[in-house]
């Protein structure tokens, strides 16, 4: 299935809206993670506005595709995307991390319709998604299971256990999207705990690997379509992303991994994103 230039532009506009909402919600919360959510906005916009089978008005629709989020700290991008696609009012995003809010700093499955899992401890998501995909195949279900992960969480051994299980069970209905942005809280991933050659490791574990620019919407959509054609093994979309994407002054800066913008920084960030929005409209 090809994607038109106009559809790509519309998804890019959604991604810009999502980035603006992320900045607002983090500034209002006064805590949270900035770089990862901004870097993954293109992918989440493409997922919710094009790739996934889902229904915001019926979040428990049995035939929906399932999207797990392993690196739960980037959940602002998921909340913002879900709000913009219609799961709940966009204004609710400003309750992020507030006492009593449905939008906590890590997703809690029973708090918000449309979430498939609770995540916080890193490294668990691949095993959760693989188990779900295995059960879906046993039950003869046709939906796909997607799992978003981070590169830094692959320091956790459980990630590789889940990867082995998925390959051993030949889970062609499972697609993992790795946010390969090369940063974690203490610095560059290759300085903290080297992961390269990352894609080749997954190939050796028995996965089908697709290398893409994770901020290129057309490449990401094409990778998702390719994954659907692979029936005998799980697929890894090895997405090279720019942490902090859209805000030039913080792109690739690991110090923004777990840091929110101040009110003053948020004003400057939003002006930059508004200019980008105007460019997309031309």
Amino acid 2: pLDDT: 79
Q: 191-234, pLDDT tens digit by residue?
A: 999 999 999 999 999 999 999 999 999 999 999 999 999 999 99
* Cβ atoms within 10 Å, residue 164: 15
Closest CA to 114 of 103, 125, 123: 103
Q: Do residues 39 and 214 touch, judged by C-beta distance below 8 A?
A: yes
Q: How far is CA 148 from the centre of its chain?
A: 5
Q: Which CATH number is 207's domain given?
A: 3.40.50.970
Cα 135 versus chain centre, distance: 23
Residue 66: C-alpha distances to residues 70, 129, 148, 197 (Å): 13, 9, 11, 29
Q: Please report the pLDDT score of residue 1 as a whole number.
A: 61
Q: What is the pLDDT of residues 104-153, one digit of tens each?
A: 999 999 999 999 999 988 999 999 999 999 999 999 999 999 999 999 99
Q: In Å, how far from its chain's centre is CA 75?
A: 8
Q: Note the pLDDT of residue 77.
A: 98
Domain range for residue 235?
5-281
For 225-258, write each residue's pLDDT tens digit.
999 999 999 999 999 999 999 999 999 999 999 9
Give tens-digit pLDDT for 59-74.
999 999 999 999 999 9
Which is nearest to 72 in space by CA: 117, 133, 16? 117
Cβ-contact 150, 177 below 8 angstroms: no
Peptide bond into 197 cis (omega under 30): yes
Contacts of 200 (CB under 8 A, 6+ apart): none
Residue 61: the pLDDT is: 97
Query: What total number of domains does the chain contain?
Result: 1
pLDDT tens for each residue of 1-30: 679 999 999 999 999 999 999 999 999 999
Contact between 94 and 85 under an 8 Å Cβ cutoff? The reply is no
Beta bridge partners of 178: 149, 238
In the prediction, which pLDDT does 121 show?
A: 86
The per-residue pLDDT for 120 is 81
The string of pLDDT tens digits covering residues 75-111 is 999 999 999 999 999 999 999 999 999 999 999 999 9
* HSE of 275, CA atoms in CB hemisphere, 13 A: 8
Residue 71, helix vs strand vs coil = coil
């Amino acid at each position: 299935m090809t994607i038109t230039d106009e559809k790509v532009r519309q998804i890019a506009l959604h991604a810009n809206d999502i980035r603006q909402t992320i900045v607002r919600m983090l500034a209002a919360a006064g805590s949270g993670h900035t770089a990862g959510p901004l870097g993954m906005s293109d992918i989440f916009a493409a997922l919710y506005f094009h790739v996934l089978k889902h229904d915001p008005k019926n979040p428990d629709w049995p035939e929906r595709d399932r999207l797990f989020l392993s690196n739960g700290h980037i959940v602002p991008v998921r909340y913002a995307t879900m709000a913009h696609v219609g799961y709940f009012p966009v204004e609710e995003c400003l309750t992020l991390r507030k006492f009593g809010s449905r939008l906590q700093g890590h997703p809690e499955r029973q708090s918000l319709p449309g979430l498939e899992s609770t995540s916080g401890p890193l490294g668990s998501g691949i095993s959760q998604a693989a188990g779900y995909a295995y059960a879906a195949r046993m039950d003869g279900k046709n939906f796909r299971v997607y799992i978003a992960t981070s590169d830094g969480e692959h320091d956790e051994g459980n990630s590789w256990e889940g990867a082995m299980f998925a390959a051993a069970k030949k889970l062609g209905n499972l697609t993992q999207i790795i946010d390969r942005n090369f940063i974690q809280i203490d610095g560059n991933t290759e300085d903290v705990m080297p992961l390269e050659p990352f894609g080749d490791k997954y190939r050796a574990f028995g996965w089908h690997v697709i290398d893409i620019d994770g901020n290129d919407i057309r490449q990401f959509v094409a990778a998702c379509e390719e994954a659907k054609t692979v029936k005998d093994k799980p697929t890894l979309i090895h997405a090279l992303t720019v942490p902090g994407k859209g805000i030039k002054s913080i792109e690739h800066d690991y110090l923004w991994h777990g840091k929110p913008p101040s009110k003053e920084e948020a004003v400057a960030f939003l002006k930059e994103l508004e200019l980008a929005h105007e460019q997309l409209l031309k």
